[in-house]
């Protein structure tokens, strides 16, 4: 099975994140891999979650109770990605030598912008319907989950969106709303069931909630600590989340 185009492009643009996979393979734990990479444990898992969301299968398999906060190893897909990174790394020097002007590299850097959106979900377009001034784009995620985005007709044409095309849905963490157990979801919004993977309290402001979807892709949301306590939500709890299709941004390979 070949690697998805979007994941392959991510490897080329973010090699430091793929290099983290090599540390996981060598160290056997996320804690030690993060230390070897010179980043925090949270940053390491954020990077791995982002890669897993773009991949067809999880790249890292973790277990609890191991040394240094639990063991971790690369899956077969992760090993394949790592081999690809190593080949790309070998070509990097040749690419740099081919640049005719230093300004060319600066331009490429500006064209390959990173995004502030915490949530990035890869999917395929399974539906495209005109609704007034907007197009409703239905996306099938891995595992059969489905979400929708509302974008302008101009955006649909500019991105060249067609049925079956692979895209990345971008969603800010602040746009993901956790629902109370007795709350009815907004019928116009996307609604997904997830498991709370971790609650990361901040000294000020809301708590960061890391969510695991049924297809093993992840989402990040924010919620007030008092509300979470009142709802009895903690790591391992099942919760529903919703976000309106108009908040879903779509990206395609340049």
Task: Spell out where the chain has E strands.
Answer: 60-62, 72-74, 119-131, 134-141, 146-152, 166-171, 177-178, 190-200, 207-213, 218-223, 238-243, 249-251
Q: Are residues 158 and 236 in the same domain?
A: yes
Domain boundary among 99, 127, 151: 99
Bridge partners (DSSP) of residue 136 are 129, 150
Q: Are residues 132 and 248 in the same domain?
A: yes
Report the helix count and the strand count for the chain, using DSSP H and E: 8, 12
SS3 221: strand
Using alpha carbons, select from 208, 206, 205, 182 the residue that is nearest to residue 197.
Answer: 208
* Confidence check: pLDDT of 178 > 60: yes
Give the CATH number of the domain where residue 20 resides: 1.10.10.10
Q: Are residues 95 and 203 in the same domain?
A: no
Tokens linked to 49: 């979650």
Q: Are residues 69 and 180 in the same domain?
A: no
Instruction: Kindly give the interhelix angle for 41-54 and 5-13, rounded to the nearest 10 degrees.
Output: 150
pLDDT tens digits, residue range 54-94? 777 788 887 765 444 558 889 888 888 888 777 766 665 56
Q: Which domain holds residue 87?
A: 5-99
Domain boundary among 99, 134, 158: 99
Q: Are residues 142 and 240 in the same domain?
A: yes
Q: Are residues 46 and 161 in the same domain?
A: no
Q: Are residues 92 and 21 in the same domain?
A: yes
Tokens linked to 47: 């990077």
Using alpha carbons, select from 122, 114, 99 the residue that is nearest to residue 3.
Answer: 122
Residue in the structure block whose two tokens are 């067809």: 56
35 inside domain: yes
106 inside domain: no
Q: Are residues 135 and 174 in the same domain?
A: yes
Q: Are residues 248 and 122 in the same domain?
A: yes
Q: Are residues 152 and 48 in the same domain?
A: no
Domain boundary among 47, 66, 99: 99
Give the CATH number of the domain where residue 224 resides: 2.40.50.100
Separation CA 176–CA 229 (nearest Å): 18
What's the predicted TM-score (pTM) here?
Answer: 0.65
pLDDT number for residue 42: 87
SS3 245: helix
Separation CA 243–CA 171 (nearest Å): 9
Q: Are residues 164 and 230 in the same domain?
A: yes
Residue in the structure block whose two tokens are 């890292």: 60
Tokens linked to 217: 């892709």
Q: Are residues 144 and 247 in the same domain?
A: yes
* Domains: count for the chain: 2
pLDDT number for residue 66: 47
Q: How does residue 234 score in pLDDT terms, banded at 50, 70 and 90? A: very high
């Amino acid at each position: 099975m070949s690697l998805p185009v979007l994941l392959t492009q991510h490897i080329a643009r973010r090699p430091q994140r793929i290099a983290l996979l090599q540390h996981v393979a060598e160290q056997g734990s996320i804690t030690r891999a993060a230390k070897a990479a010179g980043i925090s444990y949270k940053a390491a898992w954020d990077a791995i979650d982002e890669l897993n969301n773009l991949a067809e299968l999880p790249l890292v398999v973790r277990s609890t109770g191991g040394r240094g906060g639990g063991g971790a190893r690369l899956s077969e897909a992760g090993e394949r990605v790592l081999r690809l990174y190593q080949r790309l790394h070998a070509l990097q020097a040749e690419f740099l030598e081919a640049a005719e002007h230093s300004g060319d590299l600066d331009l490429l850097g500006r064209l390959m912008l990173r995004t502030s959106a915490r949530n990035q979900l890869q999917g395929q377009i399974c539906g495209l319907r005109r609704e007034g001034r907007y197009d409703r784009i239905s996306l099938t995620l891995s595992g059969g989950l489905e979400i929708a985005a509302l974008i302008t007709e101009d955006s649909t044409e500019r991105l060249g969106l067609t049925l079956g095309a692979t895209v990345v849905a971008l969603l800010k963490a602040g746009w993901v709303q956790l629902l109370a157990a007795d709350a009815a979801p907004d019928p116009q919004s996307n609604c997904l069931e997830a498991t709370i993977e971790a609650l990361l309290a901040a000294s000020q402001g809301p708590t960061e909630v890391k969510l695991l979807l049924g297809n093993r892709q992840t989402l990040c949301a924010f919620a007030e600590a008092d509300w979470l306590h009142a709802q009895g939500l903690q790591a391992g709890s099942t919760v529903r989340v919703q976000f309106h299709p108009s908040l879903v941004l779509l990206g395609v390979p340049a």
